[in-house]
Amino acid sequence: MFSKKLLVFLSLITFVVSAPVDEIVKRQSIDTSSHCGQWDTVTAGPYSLLLDQWGASGATSGSDCASLTSMSGTTLAWKNTWKWVGGNGVKSFTNIQLNNGLNKQLSAIKTIPTTWKWSQSSTGTVVADVAYDLFTSTTSGGSNVNEIMIWLANFNAGPISAVYDSDGTPKPVASNISLGGQTWNLFKGSNGSNEVFSFLPANGGSITNFSADLNTFLKYLTANQGVSTSQFLKTAQGGTEATSGSATLTT
């Protein structure tokens, strides 16, 4: 049997865009040192670990460090420890970015298989999410038009929404959508730059063992929410948007 600890450290994130998984599964040599710089990046195979502390100046204090743990085939294990105090907005989006197979029109994408197993330990109240973040553009490599978020967890945070209930909670544009083996509520709103579509677990819980084809989410949006199939998938990332508190995310 697996020990609990082993499962945590065997956790993984993999995405492949429109490409067969034909990698020879072997352990690869990667930079496993800890990185804490605002824009530090570590590249490993088709992925980059991005520190992306874009909102750090909004914090009164804090830190955010991440490291890759291991890589085997297209399976990457990584870890992020962060602590942010002060300010209301997101401080960091520490994430794994896929670098291959992008800048394809949505109509040309066949599949984006992904598996993500993770756990989080935290102290006190944490405001954060654990989510995939995809961006599309009108031309190849053009500026972002749509942002598609698939939240696996919502820790006291909330999606961008154009519509709110009278009690101030964001109102979904669609509820109880079955995709990728889970049930979601979809929120929509602009953040000033992009039209942001956010899929959140309908039951409010955390999905710590996720395996799905992310293309089914894109297909849902092109079929039901007016996203054009001629849009190009520009960016595909998965990570944690951290606003405040103190946590370690282990994938």
Evaluate whether 66 touches 35 at the Cβ level (below 8 Å).
yes
In whole angstroms, the minimum distance from the beta carbon of 190 to ligand NAG comes to 9
d(CA 27, CA 86): 40
Applying CB under 6 A, the span of 35-43, 44-52, 124-132, 187-195 interacting with ligand NAG comes to 187-195
Applying CB under 6 A, the span of 15-23, 57-65, 193-201, 213-221 interacting with ligand NAG comes to 193-201
Q: Which is nearer to ligand NAG, 41 or 175 (CB)?
A: 175
Does 53 sit near ligand NAG (CB under 6 A)?
Answer: no
Does 178 sit near ligand NAG (CB under 6 A)?
Answer: no
d(CA 114, CA 152): 13
Binder among 52, 64, 129, 147 for ligand NAG (CB under 6 A): 147
Q: Which is nearer to ligand NAG, 64 or 147 (CB)?
A: 147
* 32 residue type, one letter: T
Angle at 40 between CA 37 and CA 43, to 5 degrees: 150
Angle at 154 between CA 4 and CA 133, to 5 degrees: 95
Evaluate whether 197 touches 223 at the Cβ level (below 8 Å).
no
Q: Which is nearer to ligand NAG, 11 or 67 (CB)?
A: 11
Tell me whether residue 147 is one of the annotated catalytic residues: yes
In whole angstroms, the minimum distance from the beta carbon of 135 to ligand NAG comes to 8
Binder among 169, 176, 178, 224 for ligand NAG (CB under 6 A): 176
d(CA 221, CA 218): 5
Contact residues for ligand NAG (CB under 6 A)?
Answer: 7, 117, 147, 160, 175-176, 191, 193-194, 196, 209, 211
Tell me which residues are annotated as active site: 147, 241
